[in-house]
Structures are given as structure tokens and as C-alpha cells.
């Protein structure tokens, strides 16, 4: 993979994950070349990678668009996340140190403060949530998990819909994180696994409720 292809991949992926893009939005190689600042050849390589990650899809007529998943596909995404992230939490509980616990607590304070503002700060919530789960993955010390999880965690359906979650949903996320921290502090891998599974499944149902509200609007 060339440097130009890597640059195109990073820029196009960032564009897909941004608030300016919606599921089903059609794109062209010319537009993606403008976004990435490279020629169409490396853009094609980048697009292939993004198709493999199921962030971009092609229709029968070869038209390119941002992925728009069905309810079943979204359920599967969250189910896979639950399996992998619960395994990461179980491993992390066995390898967690005091410094990492302190970092998790500090991150969750930032997250909780963000959602308790008069108007919830979604950008700060998302960044703190990313850091929290990223640190757990780091402490799991599993190269395989580190390779598999990011594409699921950063799926734009999750990122984009966070803005539609209710304040109670966002607050509950911080509460779940507190229980995860307690499980890590106790070095209880089974507890950590159970809490993470519940946390991700709760996120799925919050997501489903939010998308149902959007569809009715």
C-alpha cells in the first residue's frame, strides 16, 4: 500500500465518520479524490479497504455510497462488539495496574461532566468514551483484539447516533463505566466481562430506540 493510498484511506475514513455524512449518501471517486488530495488511483485502493471494512458499499450498478445498515446488521455489529469487548474487559481485569485505573477514573469524570452540562457536550462524551474503551483494549494486551475491535467500535452508526441518545442514556454510560472500574479494581475478570456485555447490549437498545424516534420524525 502506497503512502498516497494510506493518506487517502485516513482522510476518506475520517470524512465518513464525520457529522457531515449520512448513511446512504452517494459518493464518487472524483469527490473522494478532492477530499483526500490525491489522484484517483490511490483513492481506488483506499475505497477497497473501506469496502472491506463495510464503511462503503457498491450497488448493483457500481454506484458508491456510505453504508446504511439494516436492523439485523446493526444488531450483529453490537453482538460482535459485546463478544470482543467483554473478552477485552476480562483480559484487562487480569492485567490492570493502579496507574491505568486512575486514568480510567479521570476519563470517566470528564465523560460524566460532559453529559451533565445544561446542554450535553456530545463531542467530549465521544472522545472520553473512545479513550475509556481504548485504554481497556490496551490493558487487554491482545494484538488480535487490537486489530479486530476498532472497525466495530468506530462504526459511524454508533458515532452519529450518540447525538440522538437521551440524557439518561448518556448518564447510564458513565454509571456502567463506574461499575467496570470497580470490577477492574477488584481484579474480577468475570464481573468485568458481565458488565461489559451488559454495557454494549444496553447501547444497542438505546441505539434502536433512538433510530426509531428519528424514523418517526
How would you write the pLDDT of the chain (217 residues) with one tens digit per residue? 578 888 898 898 888 877 677 778 899 989 999 989 988 888 999 999 888 877 888 888 889 998 877 778 888 888 999 999 999 999 999 999 999 999 999 999 999 999 999 998 988 998 899 899 999 999 999 999 998 887 776 655 555 555 567 888 899 999 999 999 999 999 999 999 999 999 999 988 887 776 666 555 5
The DSSP-derived string for 17-65 is TSTT--TT-EE-HHHHHHHHTS-HHHHHHHHHHHHHTTSEEE-TT--EE
- The pLDDT value recorded for residue 212 is 64
Angstrom distance (rounded) from CA 56 to CA 68: 9
58: β partners: 64
CATH 2.70.70.10 fits domain 71-216: no
The reported pLDDT for the residue numbered 164 is 64
Q: Residue with C-alpha cell 479513550?
A: 131
| Cα-to-chain-centroid distance, residue 174 | 16
pLDDT at site 130: 87
* SS3 track for 120-135: CCHHHHHHHHHHHHHH
Residue 150 pLDDT: 76
- Asked if the 3-66 domain carries CATH number 1.10.10.10, the reply is yes
List the domain boundaries for the chain.
3-66, 71-216
Amino acid at each position: 500500500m502506497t503512502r498516497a493510498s494510506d493518506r487517502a484511506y485516513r482522510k476518506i475514513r475520517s470524512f465518513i465518520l464525520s457529522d457531515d455524512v449520512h448513511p446512504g449518501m452517494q459518493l464518487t471517486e472524483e469527490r473522494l479524490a478532492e477530499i483526500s488530495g490525491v489522484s484517483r488511483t490511490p483513492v481506488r485502493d483506499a475505497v477497497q479497504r473501506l469496502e472491506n471494512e463495510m464503511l462503503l458499499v457498491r450497488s448493483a450498478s457500481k454506484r458508491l455510497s456510505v453504508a446504511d445498515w439494516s436492523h439485523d446488521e446493526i444488531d450483529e455489529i453490537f453482538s460482535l462488539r459485546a463478544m470482543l469487548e467483554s473478552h477485552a474487559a476480562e483480559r484487562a481485569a487480569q492485567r490492570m495496574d493502579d496507574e491505568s485505573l486512575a486514568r480510567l477514573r479521570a476519563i470517566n469524570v470528564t465523560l460524566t461532566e460532559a453529559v451533565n452540562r445544561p446542554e450535553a457536550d456530545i463531542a467530549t462524551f465521544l472522545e472520553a468514551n473512545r479513550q475509556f474503551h481504548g485504554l481497556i483494549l490496551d490493558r487487554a494486551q491482545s494484538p488480535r483484539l487490537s486489530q479486530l475491535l476498532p472497525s466495530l467500535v468506530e462504526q459511524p452508526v454508533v458515532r452519529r447516533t450518540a447525538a440522538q441518545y437521551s440524557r439518561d442514556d448518556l448518564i447510564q454510560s458513565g454509571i456502567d463505566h463506574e461499575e467496570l472500574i470497580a470490577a477492574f479494581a477488584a481484579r474480577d475478570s468475570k464481573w468485568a466481562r458481565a458488565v461489559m456485555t451488559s454495557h454494549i447490549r444496553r447501547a444497542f437498545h438505546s441505539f434502536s430506540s433512538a433510530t426509531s424516534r428519528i424514523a418517526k420524525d
